[in-house]
Amino acid sequence: MATPVLQRLVPEAPEALRELLDPRSGPLLPPVRAEIFGAQRFAQHGRSLGDTHRATRQAARRSAFFPRLAGNIGMLRRAHRYISAQAATGYDISPAAMWLLDNFHLIEAQLQAIHEGLPPGYFRALPVLLDPPLLGLPRIYGVAWAFVAHTDGAFDEELLVHYLGAYQETRELSLSEAWALPTTLRVVLVENLRRLAERLATHKAARELAHLCCDRIQTFTPQQLADVLAVLAARGVGGVFVAQLAQRLLDGAAGPPAGAAASAAVLQWLAEQHPEPAASQAQQNADQTSDNLSVSNAVNSLRAIGDADWPDIVARSSALMRLMLGSPLFSAEHSSTRDQTLHGIEKLARRSGRSELAVAQALLALMQPDPGAAPPPTNVATYWLQGSGRAALGRALGLNEGPWRAGWLAARRAALPLYLGALVLGVTALVDSLLTHHAVGGYGWLAALLMLGPASEAVVAVFNRLISESVQPDHLPRLALGEGLTPQQRVLVVMPVLLTDTAAIDHLLHRLQLHRLANAERQTQFALLSDYADASTQHLPGDAALLAHAVQGVRALNAALPPWGGAPHFILLHRERRPSASEGAWIGWERKRGKLEQLVQALASGDASAFIDLGVASRLAADTHYVLTLDSDTQLPPGRLRELLGVAAHPQNQPRLDASGQRLLGGYGILQPRIATPLHDAGTGTAYHWLFAGQCGVDPYSAASSEIYQDVFHEGTFTGKGLLHVATLHTLLGGRLPEGQVLSHDLLEGALVRCAAVSDITLIEDSPFHAEVAASRVHRWTRGDWQLLPLLLQPRRWRLRGVHRWKLVDNLRRSLVPPLALGLLLLALSGHGLTPGAALLLVLAAFAAGPLMGAVAGLAPSRDNLAKRHFYARAGAELLRAAGGGLWHLALLLQEAGAALDAIGRALWRTVVSRRHLLQWTTAAAAEAGASRGLRAAL
């Protein structure tokens, strides 16, 4: 064995040296290096390689290929430690070793990226080669190996594209192989670096061992040196050991002359083992020079691969991408939408047994624009890959998907009945189980009735959580808009506000300026959509001064910017007060809903008479097709405006009306982004905000999150901050809603013009910092929801679909949960219905089941290489927050139940009897300003 031989003959040899020279590690593998090819020779090689690369997809392989990442990492670190130790003790090291020492942080980062980017099935789905010498290996691995070998590890993007194009003249690569190429190139380069590092460190160890032997050469016999040489020869470094011995013993160039101490027999043995020292030295010098170049090439290539534009490389080298980019719509789409189409082609190719290129050709033959076709438009790939045209595409490919497709369409049509049926069964089972096992005394019917509130809330939370975890988020297609917005995407960004004082006006103008600075797009105008505060008369003494201050601020903003298209960048759209019989005061007509309705009318018809003519300061840009409405405390992060309009501009999302123009057949009239909570300044947070604001901050990668109504029913919920399609809102909502009755208009507007939840695009808005502000907001929402009851009872008149009616009913149900939960607890404490413990647990589950499920799921780390202490500290904090939120609701159940009953009672009284104060409303800023901060007030 290696260690006993070296330990016996050279006991002073360090353990690290013996480990490197241990032949049980196998002989050194040669670097991934071959003849260097130019462009013409590479093209010939690519075509010949394609001819020989017969491959197949195997459904189940007993031994799937996976690169030896763990072994490479271990050997690279071992070599790095050994070379570092040698450098620290003053030994000379080669330029290649210096490259490794100086860039090892980059190599480790690449190893980590490869490790995270290689799931177990990464290579399993790729075609494998059928012929030696790469039998059973992925075809793309052979392609990458040849490129690295014939460039000596140097990355040349143009040469790679040229090589791949020539290869595909004789053998088509699948799209998954093309996207696997960057990671596979990293794998091959790391494999090459491992071989080079092992070679450098082992050669260094062999030379060090030779020096140790020379230091006491008089104690060695030829047989003992032969035994040491046998060990090193098995490792592949015998020649290096002998050459170093000869250099030291015969000419003394590498250290103090030691030949005099060696016996004649040893010198004779050495001469036999090393007959041509000059040739050996020349070969070692040449190898060292080649290794220096290979290491530097590999390190630089790892950097270059990370910086390369791989979508562009794939587009230029993939025959499938070149074919699909011939479609104008596909070439204009965002890369994420292209990926959806390409993955659909890939899946259909596997199902049909056709090549991806054949599927794409059949798809493009069907994707012809047909202006007279029923929606959705037939030039959209999704129509053929996932929509109504899938059967026709399947027939074109000889694929019969009739039964499967019929079942899938039936499941989509039955989504709402299945969802509601599951909720009913879940609530029934929970109520029945609790009554069976925990019922005491009488009044079972009353207990069951009261249990419906908390039981339904718990079941809905659990079901929605399970669905959101199991259903893939609905990612809407979008255009890239790489050159910016076009006149077809002209947009007005508006903030509906009240002019109350000069400080507030300055803050609003500053916020409007921030929106433009973050989204300085062409074809974009920014506006304050303002009213005065409610008053007992039409005009108050300070009104004119407030309006003049706002106009002056808008002009100051425009002074620094040249006008475009005859209209300023910033404008002020202000309305006079009107008398309201319902409110008994002078107010802006229909408040925020009225402002938006009159703005849409002004943009659609050109009639802006609802707003005061302020000259240039109120001039709207012509042909504005979209309105983005934001609250005064909403932040619009950089680039979000273009992203939203990219979604809106895609033909699949464009609203399409029927012949009468009164019914929406497809597309969306409103796009609702996800609302994220910002990181707040240190010292400004409150315990209430920590409990209920959720995780703060925005994911910089904009990962899509689940929105159950969008994911399951392909319709989201409008919450008042989103992108509005002007023509659609004007056609479907203009003058349609009853005057003086609708307070919570967002949900109703989203239902009538079809709203999409765009969960991978975020706006930023903070949550209330104080419980009093949150309670005021919930009270207002509850009143607004119950005032929609007359509309809910007339679904045909308002053309409300089943999912819209369920949303309205669900809001009413949610408002009844606190009163019913309180009634259940009081009934249990009186000795009837459930036991107090069971009732308490049910109420707590109603308020905490959903958050607790998410917090418990968050306790399982998604990766192994996490800072465990920090991870579990954060996960524990989330668990504590979820439990704390439930306990908070339980502690304030009496107050919440009273507020809910008050809001419901007020709404019903005002809607049915008094017809007064139906539009009673307090702004979030006013509620925040009037909130009590002290402990006594809170108690």
Local structure of residue 696 (DSSP, 8 states): B
The predicted-structure confidence for 353-369, as pLDDT tens digits, reads as follows: 888 999 999 999 998 76
Question: Does 228 score more than 80 pLDDT?
Answer: yes
Beta carbons within 8 Å of 854's beta carbon, 6+ residues apart: 465, 878, 882
- The band of 256, judged by pLDDT with boundaries at 50, 70 and 90, is very low
State both tokens at 395.
Answer: 């027939």
Q: Give me the pLDDT at residue 155, please.
A: 94
CA angle 743, 747, 753 (to 5 degrees): 115
Higher local confidence (pLDDT), 31 or 387: 31
The answer to whether 519 touches 639, Cβ cutoff 8 Å, is: yes
State both tokens at 514.
Answer: 């921030």
Q: Chain-wide mean pLDDT for the chain?
A: 87
Min mean pLDDT across 84-98, 465-479, 482-496, 615-629 is at 84-98
Q: Give me the pLDDT at residue 1, please.
A: 43
CA angle 6, 10, 12 (to 5 degrees): 120
C-beta atoms surrounding 676 within 10 Å? 20
Residue 664 carries which side chain, given as an amino acid letter?
A: L
The predicted-structure confidence for 491-524, as pLDDT tens digits, reads as follows: 999 999 999 999 999 999 999 999 999 999 989 9
Q: How many CA atoms lie within 13 A of 280 on its CB side?
A: 17
Q: Give me the pLDDT at residue 462, please.
A: 93
User: Phi and psi dihedrals of 124, rounded to 5?
Assistant: -65, -30
Question: Does 253 score more than 50 pLDDT?
Answer: no
Q: Minimal CA–CA distance to 804: which of 754, 739, 856, 767?
A: 754
Q: Give the torsion sign (CA, 866, 867, 870, 876).
A: positive
CA angle 65, 69, 71 (to 5 degrees): 110
User: Phi and psi dihedrals of 353, rounded to 5?
Assistant: 75, 10
Report whether the peptide linkage leading into residue 133 is cis, meaning its omega lies within 30 degrees of zero: yes
Percentage of the residues of the chain whose pLDDT score is greater than 90: 49
Q: Which of 406-420, 680-694, 699-713 has the highest mean pLDDT?
A: 406-420
- Mean pLDDT, residues 187-212: 90
The answer to whether 628 touches 635, Cβ cutoff 8 Å, is: no
Q: Give me the pLDDT at residue 108, please.
A: 79
The predicted-structure confidence for 797-822, as pLDDT tens digits, reads as follows: 888 899 999 999 999 999 999 999 99
- Mean pLDDT, residues 773-791: 92
- Mean pLDDT, residues 436-459: 91
Distance CA 878, CA 875 (A): 5
- Mean pLDDT, residues 26-31: 90
Higher local confidence (pLDDT), 854 or 454: 454
C-beta atoms surrounding 86 within 10 Å? 20
Distance CA 622, CA 643 (A): 22
Tell me if the pTM is above 0.75. Answer: yes
- The band of 703, judged by pLDDT with boundaries at 50, 70 and 90, is very low
- Mean pLDDT, residues 728-738: 92
Beta carbons within 8 Å of 625's beta carbon, 6+ residues apart: 488, 489, 490, 491, 725, 726, 727
Question: Does 719 score more than 60 pLDDT?
Answer: yes
The answer to whether 791 touches 747, Cβ cutoff 8 Å, is: no
Q: Give me the pLDDT at residue 695, please.
A: 62
Question: Does 939 score more than 80 pLDDT?
Answer: no
- The band of 701, judged by pLDDT with boundaries at 50, 70 and 90, is very low
Q: Which of 304-308, 551-555, 830-834 has the highest mean pLDDT?
A: 551-555
The predicted-structure confidence for 405-441, as pLDDT tens digits, reads as follows: 666 677 778 899 999 999 999 999 999 999 998 888 7
Distance CA 887, CA 880 (A): 10
Distance CA 627, CA 718 (A): 14
- The band of 120, judged by pLDDT with boundaries at 50, 70 and 90, is low
How many angstroms separate the Cα of 632 from the Cα of each of 164, 198, 209, 513, 923?
Answer: 53, 62, 75, 12, 10
Distance CA 809, CA 792 (A): 8
How many angstroms separate the Cα of 815 from the Cα of each of 428, 461, 784, 812?
Answer: 20, 15, 11, 5
Residue 113 carries which side chain, given as an amino acid letter?
A: A
C-beta atoms surrounding 101 within 10 Å? 13
Question: Does 110 score more than 50 pLDDT?
Answer: yes
Q: What secondary structure, in 3-state letters, does 875-913 show?
A: HHHHHHHHHHHHHHHHHCHHHHHHHHHHHHHHHHHHHHH
Report whether the peptide linkage leading into residue 376 is cis, meaning its omega lies within 30 degrees of zero: yes
How many angstroms separate the Cα of 870 from the Cα of each of 22, 236, 677, 802, 864?
Answer: 40, 46, 22, 46, 13
The pairs formed by 269-274 with CB atoms below 8 angstroms and a separation of 24 or more are 269/222, 269/225, 269/226, 270/225, 270/242, 270/245, 270/246, 273/229, 273/242, 274/242, 274/243, 274/245, 274/246
- Mean pLDDT, residues 384-394: 85
Question: Does 863 score more than 70 pLDDT?
Answer: no
Partners of 696 in beta bridges: 677
Q: Give me the pLDDT at residue 291, please.
A: 86
The answer to whether 661 touches 655, Cβ cutoff 8 Å, is: no
- Mean pLDDT, residues 26-52: 91
Distance CA 177, CA 184 (A): 9
Q: Minimal CA–CA distance to 725: which of 589, 799, 839, 627?
A: 627
- The band of 444, judged by pLDDT with boundaries at 50, 70 and 90, is confident
Beta-strand pair 722-725/670-676? antiparallel
Distance of CA 28 to the CA centre of its chain: 43
Q: Minimal CA–CA distance to 724: which of 593, 600, 626?
A: 626
Partners of 494 in beta bridges: 527, 629
The string over 905-916, giving b where at least 16 C-beta atoms fall within 10 Å of a residue's C-beta and e elsewhere, is: ebbeebbeeeee
Q: Give me the pLDDT at residue 625, please.
A: 97
Q: In what order do the strands lie in the sheet with 755-764?
A: 570-574, 524-532, 491-499, 626-629, 722-725, 670-676, 755-764
State both tokens at 345.
Answer: 């082609």
Q: Minimal CA–CA distance to 818: which of 788, 853, 782?
A: 782
The answer to whether 809 touches 452, Cβ cutoff 8 Å, is: no
Higher local confidence (pLDDT), 730 or 439: 730
The answer to whether 601 touches 730, Cβ cutoff 8 Å, is: yes
The string over 712-743, giving b where at least 16 C-beta atoms fall within 10 Å of a residue's C-beta and e elsewhere, is: bbbbbbbbbbbbbbbbbbbbbbeeebeebbbb
Distance CA 2, CA 25 (A): 10
Question: Does 893 score more than 80 pLDDT?
Answer: yes
Residue 748 carries which side chain, given as an amino acid letter?
A: L
Distance CA 816, CA 457 (A): 10
Q: Give me the pLDDT at residue 578, please.
A: 95
C-beta atoms surrounding 436 within 10 Å? 8
Beta-strand pair 570-574/55-56? unpaired
Q: Give me the pLDDT at residue 255, please.
A: 45
